Chains A and B, each alone.
Chain A
């Protein structure tokens, strides 16, 4: 069974003259341990697709199957619970809660799911260690750099041991050096932990890290090709750092 599958997925906004067909029938399958990049020009529907894959929004028609469960058929609360347990989100603007420390931000989804404080804390620290941020776990987001904040956000997404990681322009607000670090981290998660990742990006260099590239245009899949991930030489140092 695929980790993620969409069948004839459509999403329409508005009505009458203001009707916009953001997605016009998308079929997609993502396997376990696959790193999928989605690209496309503005208005191609890539963000809309990501929202539907994450159960954040409901499709107008079609299905979104996450480990065999049709997200479109669930209620808002049910989608929320699935999201909490199975899907980790990484946002372009990090979206860390400013009044919580790094550790508290990471443990938040666990505690929302009813995990006891002590256990949540343990798992949060383990997640932060994975992204090499455990030494800054008591820091507030305002005292962290952009790259550090994004790594904490990744740790938050990993803490729940998700079936699927969804990343929306994860390097969009980072400089090139931090962007490379974050991308390398995502690649390592796939290589070492068989993490399934779907990432939307504008950056070709970032997309090149993925196993597969899906291009959208006007709400449809224009191309869907496997590729060999490219790790530029200077990334090797970053890799060494994270090992």
Chain B
């Protein structure tokens, strides 16, 4: 009981250090939970969206090109053994317009044409208000209640729905919400199958058949049997495969977030280790007394580990709260990147369970080494006054662990970059390499402080020399404090350089691909499925006839299948001098000729996944010619749909796929005719319910993505620096405590208070310079390694470009933070009561 009280009170006695330790654990745990929740919610949002659409269907039949097929096929498929019900639907992307008192509103959504009687075999419907559809339903639609309420639409309201054609509908009912439609950027408009076919498709044609199986039926066996009866161009698969495109898009974001959370955990462990080492150092006399009055080594170790458990548990609890809040922030950031409405965060138990168990474990692990050090405390120390210790070397075990860690992780990281080791291991290996290299700092602190001391001597003068001695006096403490700053800056600079270079690459891609002054389209492509609302062909003719037009290009985006992978095809004329794609190590003129000759350009991510290079063949599933082998002319970097993209000449796409309408019309204005052309295009857009966007409008959308990423970057950098500042403040406070008598003697001899403050601040400046300098170097190395690993890891090459402003800014801001952290300890040192301090032992 008394030992327990001793433990709790000792923790409470140093609130600053306890807060630092708690905060470190909380940040590590919180970062892990926030990232896990954000990623889980994103994935779940996509899956739930499709679950809501697919309902109880275990399989679905779609056209490989995403087009229409004969409705009668449903009756044929329903006869296949194992199939209980084959439910036909028409699913089309659309845009809903509603005349609200505040103005006309537009919403992207999915149009779902259903057989009101048969559809209940696949999906459950619960009408909250109004009535359900029936076989006689005409221009009537049902909306999900959450979407309707958000749009201000009620039962009886009239809405306009556009998907290639425009029609008016009456809302006759509101359905209870089922899962999340947010990543669909809106909701679902249900109508009768006949109505959907009449106004948005073709009579007798559908886009999907959902298959509900007999209880106990073997899904793969049924799928094989169904495939046998399907005509060419159709495919049976699980509904979840439609989320592949979405997963491809979020993969790079998830990787980045995982890196950030891994480094947050590493930083936390370092800070806890240093805090506990300081605890042991400061309480050495007290622990010696415990040994003197009869505590065994095991009891003393247990005391320290007990503190680790208590702080770890409290920190984990706080971290869970931070993680829950942080998860919402992460979710909003991801949603902003993909121009979607953030869905409510899904609080899955697994991240909390993992963090809840690992948090205290990590804290105890970090406390283990300091606890082991207490076994070397002799009760003799209680019998003798504490004498200031001379400079000691860093313990060999620390250098050994650091060296081994660097060697092993460095070799494996090299292997991951070369593909000998699973590239997914690159992130944890990078974390281990960084943490291991930080453990080597105490060993090299003494030689490193010499050039730093010389560099700073004109500013720090005599106080700097004294400060240098104090830093050397405790190489482990000083080294680990420098290590915290080192890790924080290395992560910030490494991640920052990579992200900034990625953003530059995105901007470069944009400049090469988005070539045009105006863009006419019905809606932005669905970021998950790649499907777009079709633009009538007549729009292109109308635009072509305008006098201010210099050139016009028509574009089709549509989904296709490559092996088991859903990809996105971009079909254009490619007649302009500039090729609208970011080619990877290829000549545009040569590639243009190859495109016109029937070859294709493939996104680097897709090529990396399939293990293909230029000159090889890719097999694309087509509607009209089945599986078609096409030669790869070149690879291109692409940031749409996660790089799973194929560029194709329009005539080739026309031969292979049943293209309907257009996805977009790209218009270039004649010189000096920009505004005139805009005025001429506006009524065309209005008449056809299209969006008219300029290049600047699209760039601002890109800016959302970039801003979200940059915001996260500064957030990570700031957090790391704040935590490092806590670490430095704690170290300096400990140093001041230990130097109390010495400082008092210096004051008695001749040092003014101002000089004492300079002494303490000089220690911070020396540690800060070493930590920031090493951190920047390590950060650049990390960024370089990431740029090499990115192509293999994500299939997307990221150039390595030095960012001088980032480096300079990190150093300057870092130094300001370090010096601010020294303020309180310096003030404390300057205010020491000489008489008391002289008696201090």
Which residues of A from 13 to 71 have beta carbons under 8 Å from B? 47, 50-51, 56-57
Judge whether B216 is part of the interface by a CB distance below 8 angstroms.
no
CA distance A99 to B10 in the complex (A): 7
A180 contacts B by Cβ under 8 Å: no
When distances are taken between beta carbons in the complex, the residues of chain A under 8 Å from B385 are: 93
Residue B2 CB within 8 A of the other chain: yes
Contact partners of B407 in chain A: CB under 8 A: none
Distance (whole angstroms) from the CB of A200 to the closest CB of chain B: 10
Assess whether A156 is in contact with B293, with CB atoms less than 8 Å apart: yes
- Residues in B neighbouring A93, C-beta threshold 8 A: 385
Residue A97 interfacial (CB < 8 Å): yes
Which parts of A117-152 form the interface with B (CB within 8 Å)?
A: 117, 120
Cross-interface CB contact of A47 among B2, B290, B383, cutoff 8 Å:
B383
- For the complex with contacts A95-B382, A111-B3, A112-B290, 8 further pairs of A-B residues with Cβ separation under 8 Å are A77-B298, A80-B297, A84-B294, A89-B292, A91-B292, A99-B10, A100-B6, A108-B2
* Complex: chain A residue closest to B283, CB-CB: A97
A80 to chain B: closest residue by CB: B296
Q: Cα distance A41–B404 when bound, in Å?
A: 52
Chain A residue nearest to B294 (CB atoms) is A84
A99 to B283: give the CA distance in the assembly, Å. 12
A153 to chain B, nearest CB (A): 10
Instruction: Let me know if B749 is at the binding interface, CB within 8 A.
Output: no
Could you jot down 14 A-B contacts, CB within 8 Å? A56-B383, A77-B296, A80-B294, A83-B293, A91-B289, A95-B285, A97-B6, A97-B290, A98-B13, A99-B6, A100-B5, A108-B3, A108-B290, A112-B3
Report B363-398 residues with CB < 8 Å from chain A CB.
378-380, 382-385
Shortest beta-carbon distance from B839 to chain A in Å: 11
Is A104's CB within 8 Å of the partner chain B? yes
Q: Is A107 an interface residue (CB 8 A)?
A: yes
Contact status of A99 and B9, CB under 8 A, knowing A91-B383, A108-B293 = yes
Residues of A within 8 A of B292 (CB): 56, 83, 89, 91, 95
Q: Assess A104 versus B2: contact at CB under 8 Å? Given A93-B385, A109-B294, A113-B294.
A: yes
Are A77 and B9 CB-contacts (below 8 A) given A89-B292, A91-B382? no
Report which residue of A47, A56, A83, A109 has the largest number of chain B beta carbons within 10 angstroms of its beta carbon: A56
User: Which A residues touch B9, using CB under 8 A?
Assistant: 99-100
Residue B619 CB within 8 A of the other chain: no
Closest to A95 in B: B289
Binary flags per residue of B4-23, CB closer than 8 Å to A gives 1, else 0: 01100110010000000000
Identity of the chain B residue whose Cβ is nearest the Cβ of A100 in the assembled complex: B6
A166-180 residues with Cβ-Cβ distance < 8 A to B are 168
Q: Mark A73-101, 1 if CB is under 8 A from B, else 0.
A: 00011001101110001010101011110
Q: Which of B280-305 contact A (CB under 8 A)?
A: 285-286, 289-299
Q: In the complex, which residues of chain B have a beta carbon less than 8 angstroms from the beta carbon of A56? A: 292, 378-380, 383
In the complex the two chains form, what is the Cα distance from A80 to B378 in whole Å? 11
**In the complex, which of the residues A81, A95, A99, A104 contacts B294, with contact meaning CB atoms closer than 8 Å?**
A81
Cβ distance A167 to chain B, nearest Cβ, rounded Å: 12
Q: Which residues of A contact B835 (CB under 8 A)?
A: none
Interface residues of B (CB under 8 A from A): 1-3, 5-6, 9-10, 13, 285-286, 289-299, 378-380, 382-385
**A84 cross-chain contacts in B, Cβ below 8 A:** 293-295
Decide if A51 touches B289 in the complex (CB within 8 Å).
Answer: no
> Which of the residues B1, B293, B384 comes within 8 Å of A109, measured between beta carbons?
B293
**Is the Cβ of B383 less than 8 Å from the Cβ of A117?**
no
Residues in A whose Cβ lies below 8 Å from that of B10: 99
Contacts A93-B385, A107-B2 given: A112-B380 contact, CB under 8 Å? no
Q: A84 to B293, alpha carbons, bound, how many Å?
A: 6
User: Which 10 residue pairs are nearest across A and B when measured between Cβ atoms?
Assistant: A84-B294, A99-B9, A117-B1, A95-B289, A109-B293, A109-B294, A56-B379, A111-B2, A112-B294, A80-B296
Shortest distance in angstroms between A183's beta carbon and chain B's nearest beta carbon? 20
Q: Which residue of A lies closest to B7 (CB)?
A: A99
A residues near B294, Cβ cutoff 8 Å: 80-81, 83-85, 109, 112-113, 160
Task: Provide the residues of chain A in CB contact with B384, threshold 8 Å.
Answer: 47
Residue among B1, B286, B383 making CB contact with A168, cutoff 8 Å: B383
Cα A95 to Cα B382 with chains together (Å): 7
How many Å from the CB of A11 to the closest CB on chain B? 12
Which chain A residues lie closer than 8 Å to B297 at the CB level? Answer: 76-77, 80
What is the chain A residue whose CB lies nearest that of B295? A112
Bound: A132/B63 CA distance, A? 95
A77 / chain B contacts, CB cutoff of 8 Å: 296-298
Distance in angstroms between the alpha carbons of A89 and B379 in the assembled complex:
11
Nearest CB in chain B: distance from A191 CB, A? 26
Q: Are B2 and A99 in contact (CB under 8 A)?
A: no
Q: How far is the CB of B10 from chain A (nearest CB, A)?
A: 6
Q: What A residues does B299 contact at CB under 8 A?
A: 112
Cβ distance B493 to chain A, nearest Cβ, rounded Å: 42
Most buried by B among A57, A80, A89, A91: A80
Output the nearest chain A residue to B379 by Cβ-Cβ distance. Answer: A56
Measured between beta carbons, the chain A residues less than 8 angstroms from B296 are 77, 80-81, 112
Residue numbers in B under 8 Å from A91 (CB-CB): 289, 292, 382-383
Chain A: minimal CB distance from B514 (Å):
66
Complex Cα–Cα for A156 and B290 (A): 12
Nearest chain-A residue to B8 (Cβ)?
Answer: A99
Q: Which residues of A contact B289 (CB under 8 A)?
A: 91, 95, 97
Cβ-closest chain B residue relative to A111? B2
B315 to chain A, nearest CB (A): 21
Query: Contact between B5 and A104 (Cβ–Cβ < 8 Å)?
Result: yes
The answer to whether B5 touches A89 (Cβ under 8 A) is: no
Chain B residues positioned under 8 Å from A97 (CB to CB): 6, 286, 289-290
CA distance A85 to B294 in the complex (A): 8
Report the minimum CB–CB distance from B794 to chain A (whole Å): 53
In the assembly, what is the distance between CA of A107 and CA of B294, in Å?
12
* Cα(A56)–Cα(B293), bound, Å: 10
| Chain A residues near B290 (CB-CB < 8 A) | 97, 108, 112
Q: Which residues of B contact A109 (CB under 8 A)?
A: 293-294
Min distance, Cβ A217 to any Cβ of chain B, angstroms: 21
Which residue from B13, B285, B293, B379 sits with its C-beta under 8 Å from A112? B293
A100 to B299, CA, bound (A): 17
Residues of A within 8 A of B291 (CB): 80
Q: How far is the CA of A78 from the CA of B2 in the complex (A)?
A: 22
A108 nearest CB across to chain B (Å)? 5
A98 CB → nearest B CB, Å? 8
**Which A residues are in CB contact (< 8 Å) with B298?**
77
Question: Smallest CB–CB gap between B152 and chain A, Å?
Answer: 62
Chain A's nearest CB lies how many Å from the CB of B282? 12
Please judge, given known A-B contacts A99-B13, A156-B293, whether A51 and B380 are in contact too, CB under 8 Å: yes
- Of listed B3, B10, B286, B383, residue having the most chain A CB within 10 A: B383
A95–B9 alpha-carbon span in the complex (Å) = 17
Residue of B nearest to A87 (CB): B294
Closest to A101 in B: B5
How far, in whole Å, are A93 and B290 apart by their CA atoms in the complex?
A: 14
Give the complex CA separation of A76 and B292 in angstroms: 12
Question: Complex Cα distance A19/B3, Å?
Answer: 40
How far, in whole Å, are A156 and B2 apart by their CA atoms in the complex?
A: 13
Most buried by A among B294, B295, B297, B385: B294
Closest chain B residue to A93 by CB distance? B385
Residues of A near B3 (CB, < 8 A) are 108, 111-112
Indicate if the CB atoms of B2 and A100 lie closer than 8 Å: yes
Chain B nearest CB from A158 CB (Å) reads 12
Enumerate chain B residues within 8 angstroms of A89, measured Cβ to Cβ: 292-293
Tell me the complex Cα distance, A47–B382, Å.
12
Nearest-neighbour CB distance to chain B for A176, whole angstroms, equals 19
